[in-house]
Amino acid sequence: MKKTKGKKIDRLQAISKKDRADSKWKKIAEWNRMHKEALDDLVVIAGHIRKSLKEKGWNQTELAEKMGVTPQALTRIMKGRQNLSLQTIRKIEQVLDVCLITVH
């Protein structure tokens, strides 16, 4: 059955209503708002990793191989979108021979 232009417009309006509680982007935006400080820290860590890579003349693929992770996983880290465990941070520190965080 072919949808008419009017039905398509009605469908688009229904799925774009402001009060749609199940909107994926709303859930993501709320999660980002609640975790803003942690996300800021992840971006700072990614910046330190990027700087270390540049100093060593490495690319992300080389770092991923040395860490034993996929390039996609490292891309998420480099974008500040991967929640890092202490174990992962320590692995990055060992491979790059840098200190990313200090625990007091």
Three-state SS sequence of the chain: CCCCHHHHHHHHHHHCCCCCCCCHHHHHHHHHHHCHHHHHHHHHHHHHHHHHHHHHCCCHHHHHHHHCCCHHHHHHHHCCCCCCCHHHHHHHHHHHCCCCCCCC
**pLDDT number for residue 19:** 59
List domains and CATH numbers for the chain. 23-96 (1.10.260.40)
- What size, in residues, is the chain? 104
At 83-104, the pLDDT tens digits run: 899 999 999 999 999 999 888 8
**pLDDT number for residue 58:** 96
Task: Kindly give the parts of the chain with pLDDT less than 50.
Answer: none
